[in-house]
Structure 1
């Protein structure tokens, strides 16, 4: 069980002073926002690191380039293993029309990411400025149009899948094929395919690729390992294979993300 070294108090317990309020927060390693809810919606985006949001038994991982939308009055716990810098955008319920009615991961377009980075660089938003208010409204309008995915890296307590996912989490460089995994965990390939589609919404192969990308973020940020070294560390046969998967999921190359993090 990981040790939690810092508890962070949620912001704006009462009413919001503005319809749309951004808040940028640094979370040290192993921090946590205890279980809480808001009367307003909340959108979370990570500039660096990965945020883990727990809602009942469901976990949402929020890596850079993606965002998590939480409708009003959803109880949740937020935590992280490595350092995280994130933006929480709080939105009054009457401004949430068009946004999902369930917690969901949003795939963000370049305009949204640019606005979010602008908020971070500016650090202090002038909420009396009509220009900044319009910018925040554009951000909310854009969020309502983004593609949705149930979860970037879904988890499950399914009795067959859970031990396999735990194994892959500990051994992301494992080269075991689907038949090999089925044999090692005393099940069948067909059973794994069926339950993966039902419980995860994706194949085990896709889940493992997403896991590897999550693992690579910390290595890109906190080490000077070459892209090739990171690729081999995570079980890829070449740097090009790793870079191809990374760019498909993160919308930029590993080197581009590393530069963004180092310039942060």
Structure 2
């Protein structure tokens, strides 16, 4: 990720609006190769969500790669920073502190249910035109009810700020079909494979192979949710045949791609 070529974005002013009569305020934007100018916090809690593109969200304790199937919950006054490596359609929600009082106190990645996704998109369409209407007020309340149900996602992808790992991770994010072994990555990363192996476990809690599989899973979920076929996704992600992809999916999640989306809708992952 070449930081010098990224657009620097100031903190969104919406996060600093304190108005209990507007419990939920939507923020929509189209960005490309951008990054928040600096780590920041604001009085409003935030749902960081994009219905297109992948984000990298950083807090003091965690760094996550977030596809459109997921979002990040950031409580009030929690320092965070977001990178947008590519074209991203931002559809964030800012929650007034009074409305967020009963919502989770910890940051988390969570799966976005189809209902919540449609609510976020709908509020984004009406924000600014109908913000005081009864319709928008009802939508806001349903959103708050949905946020009461969120739980940490079983699937998330921890990142690392270690320069050597970061180089590998960014390359794989852009080319998840890359099948190079850790030994083959060693020269690119500037460290021997044994060191890289230890770093992956220490920084992410996963082996290199487990991390790459998790990346491919998240990428697969994103692509399948956009209507791509299982066969197309399998080959695009570097699998030699469809059976190998389905076997990986079943081994990791205990189910097939089709059945996974049924359980995802019920919030089990």
Q: How many residues align?
A: 246
1:186 aligns with 2:188: no
1:42 aligns with 2:42: no
Aligned ranges for residues 153-168 of structure 1 at < 5 Å? 153-157=157-161, 165=169, 168=172
- Of 145, 149, 158, 1:145 maps to 149
RMSD over aligned CA atoms reads: 4.2
Alpha-carbon deviations, 1:125-167, whole Å to 9, x = none? 6232233212212211211212213872101357996676567
Residues in 2 aligned to 1:239 and 1:199: alpha-carbon distance in whole angstroms? 31
When the two structures are superposed, what TM-score results if normalisation uses the length of structure 1?
0.71
Specify the SS of the correspondent of 2:216.
helix
Q: Is the 8 A contact 1:54 1:76 kept in 2?
A: yes
Residues in 2 aligned to 1:202 and 1:83: alpha-carbon distance in whole angstroms? 28
Gaps of 5+ in 2: 187-191, 250-255, 263-269
Q: 1:206 to 1:97 in 2, by over 3 A?
A: farther
Residues in 2 aligned to 1:82 and 1:167: alpha-carbon distance in whole angstroms? 13
1:107 aligns with 2:111: yes
Q: Is the 8 A contact 2:28 2:124 kept in 1?
A: no
Deviates more, 1:154-163 or 1:232-241: 154-163
Specify the SS of the correspondent of 2:49.
strand
Partner of 1:212: 216
- Of 230, 234, 242, 1:231 maps to 234
Specify the SS of the correspondent of 1:147.
coil
Partner of 2:33: 30
When the two structures are superposed, what TM-score results if normalisation uses the length of structure 2?
0.69
1:68 aligns with 2:72: yes
Q: 1:204 to 1:250 in 2, by over 3 A?
A: farther
